[in-house]
């Protein structure tokens, strides 16, 4: 059930270049589906809450990983252990893998790698998961201890400083050509990456779900700030109808 939790920071630390991880202790345990997110209040009436994907849940402790971008994430970075923050969660629909879908490909880039860690934690034991993860460079590499728990992990970078020099979609396509064909593809990352992936899965006739990142206001379906276009011409709210959509249903 969605709730505005009063969360106490347990740990807030740098995990890679420009990327930090914050762990909150909630006032009570929260049931979260992989791919769902929290809307974090950073205080001050001028600052809207910031949507961040849930990366890990462990009892009453919830971890989010965030890239420092602007005012909100700069502020979050400065908050010390013991600070209390309001976190509205769990929000959005999240990823869902059907019983018949046994082989799963995770394709992620940029801050999109964090919700995919939550997929691996939820389905790693019951599904055969291959993860294709793209980072900007070796300094940005994070989450490897988690992704290495997948059946297969291919980490690549834009400049070749870690793994092969390619993006996550190219890494996935290379493996597809070798015959490693999944039953379903789950993806999150920058829009150009998702656009390239959508073209690939359409050519290959694969089922694919993408998690979209849209600017948000309320996070609960009321303000319409986050509306995206569906392929049929209709519109959807990324916060409430998504953030996960069938790739064939959204215009990218
Ligand atoms: C469902 C969802 C999950 C996300 N998960 C993560 C995550 O796990 N890790 C992570 O680092 N980032 C994630 N993001 C992106 C994150 O919300 C933005 O990077 C962050 O809000 C930027 O805030 P800022 O104040 O630092 O930057 P500013 O640029 O100052 O933000 C200004 C405004 O724009 C919004 N905004 C800016 N960039 C984005 C963006 N890419 N997506 C959505 N809103 C944006 C902010 O919420 C704010 O309202 C997610 C976004 C969504 C929608
Ligand atoms: S953020 Fe308000 S409707 Fe989606």
Of 29, 60, 91, the residue that ends a domain is: 91
Count CA atoms within 13 Å of residue 41 on its CB side. 17
Q: For residues 66 and 142, give the distance between their C-alpha atoms in angstroms, rounded to a whole number.
A: 11
Count CA atoms within 13 Å of residue 22 on its CB side. 27
Pocket test for ligand 2, best of 240, 241, 245 (most atoms within 8 A of CB): 240
Domain co-membership, 107 together with 87: no
Q: What is the CA radius of gyration of the chain?
A: 17
Which positions ≥6 away from 67 have C-beta within 8 Å? 18, 19, 73, 110, 111
Domain co-membership, 12 together with 110: no
Q: For residues 62 and 43, give the distance between their C-alpha atoms in angstroms, rounded to a whole number.
A: 19
Q: Is 227 in the pocket of ligand 2 (CB under 6 A)?
A: no
Domain co-membership, 175 together with 85: no
Distance from CA of residue 167 to its chain's centroid? 17
Domain co-membership, 74 together with 110: no
On whether residue 30 sits in a domain, the answer given is yes
Domain total in the chain? 2
On whether residue 8 sits in a domain, the answer given is yes
User: In angstroms, what is the span from residue 102 Cα to ligand 2's centroid?
Assistant: 33
Residue-range definition of the domain harbouring residue 40: 3-91
Domain co-membership, 86 together with 163: no
On whether residue 20 sits in a domain, the answer given is yes
Q: Among the atoms of ligand 2, which is closest to the Cα of residue 218?
A: 2
pLDDT digits (tens, 9 = 90+) for 77-90: 999 999 999 999 99
On whether residue 37 sits in a domain, the answer given is yes
pLDDT score for 45: 66
User: In angstroms, what is the span from residue 109 Cα to ligand 2's centroid?
Assistant: 24
CATH number at residue 29: 2.40.30.10
Q: Is 226 in the pocket of ligand 1 (CB under 6 A)?
A: no
Q: Is 66 in the pocket of ligand 1 (CB under 6 A)?
A: yes
Domain co-membership, 45 together with 143: no
pLDDT digits (tens, 9 = 90+) for 138-186: 999 999 999 999 999 999 999 999 999 999 999 999 999 999 999 999 9
Q: Smallest Cα–Cα separation from 67: which of 168, 121, 139?
A: 139
Of 91, 115, 150, the residue that ends a domain is: 91
Q: Is 239 in the pocket of ligand 1 (CB under 6 A)?
A: no
On whether residue 32 sits in a domain, the answer given is yes
Q: Is 15 in the pocket of ligand 2 (CB under 6 A)?
A: no
Domain co-membership, 113 together with 183: yes
Pocket test for ligand 1, best of 43, 47, 146, 213 (most atoms within 8 A of CB): 213
Q: Among the atoms of ligand 1, which is closest to the Cα of residue 74?
A: 26
On whether residue 182 sits in a domain, the answer given is yes
Record the pTM.
0.95
Which positions ≥6 away from 5 have C-beta within 8 Å? 24, 26, 27, 28, 30, 86, 87, 88, 89
Domain co-membership, 113 together with 204: yes
Phi first, then psi: what are they for 60, rounded to 5°? -90, 0
CATH number at residue 181: 3.40.50.80
On whether residue 65 sits in a domain, the answer given is yes
Q: Is 172 in the pocket of ligand 1 (CB under 6 A)?
A: no
What proportions of the chain, in percent to the nearest 5, are helix, strand and coil? Answer: 20, 35, 40
Domain co-membership, 85 together with 184: no
Domain co-membership, 201 together with 169: yes
Helix (H) or strand (E) holding 152: strand 152-157
DSSP string, 38-75: EEE--SSTTSPPEEEE--EEETTEEEEEEE--SHHHHH
pLDDT score for 47: 80
Sign of CA dihedral 55, 141, 195, 74: positive
Q: Is 243 in the pocket of ligand 1 (CB under 6 A)?
A: yes
Distance from CA of residue 148 to its chain's centroid? 17
Domain co-membership, 195 together with 112: yes
Domain co-membership, 201 together with 157: yes
Q: Is 214 in the pocket of ligand 2 (CB under 6 A)?
A: no
Q: Strand pairing of 128-135 and 152-157?
A: parallel
For all residues of the chain together, what is the average pLDDT? 95
Which residues of the chain are modeled with pLDDT < 50? none
Q: Is 21 in the pocket of ligand 1 (CB under 6 A)?
A: no
Q: For residues 184 and 201, give the distance between their C-alpha atoms in angstroms, rounded to a whole number.
A: 10
Q: Give the number of whichever ligand sits closest to the CA of residue 50.
A: 1
Which positions ≥6 away from 95 have C-beta within 8 Å? 33, 34, 35, 115, 119, 186, 209, 211, 244
pLDDT score for 1: 83
Q: Give the number of whichever ligand sits closest to the CA of residue 220.
A: 2
On whether residue 238 sits in a domain, the answer given is no
Q: For residues 252 and 166, give the distance between their C-alpha atoms in angstroms, rounded to a whole number.
A: 21
Q: Is 225 in the pocket of ligand 2 (CB under 6 A)?
A: yes
Length of the chain: 252
């Amino acid at each position: 059930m969605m709730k505005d939790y009063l969360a106490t920071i347990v740990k807030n630390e740098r995990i890679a270049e420009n990327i930090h991880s914050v762990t909150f202790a909630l006032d009570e345990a929260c049931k979260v589906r992989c791919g769902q997110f929290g809307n974090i209040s950073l205080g001050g009436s001028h600052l809207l809450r910031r949507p961040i994907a849930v990366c890990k849940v462990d009892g009453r402790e919830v971890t989010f990983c965030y890239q420092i971008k602007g005012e909100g994430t700069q502020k979050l970075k400065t908050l010390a252990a013991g600070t209390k923050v309001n976190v509205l969660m769990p929000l959005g629909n999240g990823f869902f893998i059907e019983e018949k879908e046994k082989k799963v490909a995770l394709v992620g880039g940029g801050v999109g790698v964090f919700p995919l860690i939550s997929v691996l934690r939820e389905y790693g034991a019951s599904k055969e998961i291959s993860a294709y993860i793209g980072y900007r460079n070796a300094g940005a590499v994070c989450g490897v201890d988690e992704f290495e728990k997948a059946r297969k992990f291919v980490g690549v970078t834009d400049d070749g400083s870690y793994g092969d020099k390619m993006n996550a979609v190219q890494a996935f396509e290379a493996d597809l050509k070798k015959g490693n064909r999944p039953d379903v593809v789950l993806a999150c990352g920058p829009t150009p990456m998702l656009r390239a992936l959508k073209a690939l899965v359409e050519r290959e006739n694969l089922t694919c779900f993408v998690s979209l990142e849209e600017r948000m206001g309320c996070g609960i379906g009321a303000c319409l700030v986050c509306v995206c276009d569906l392929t049929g011409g209709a519109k959807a709210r990324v916060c409430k109808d998504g953030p996960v959509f069938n790739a064939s249903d959204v215009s990218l």
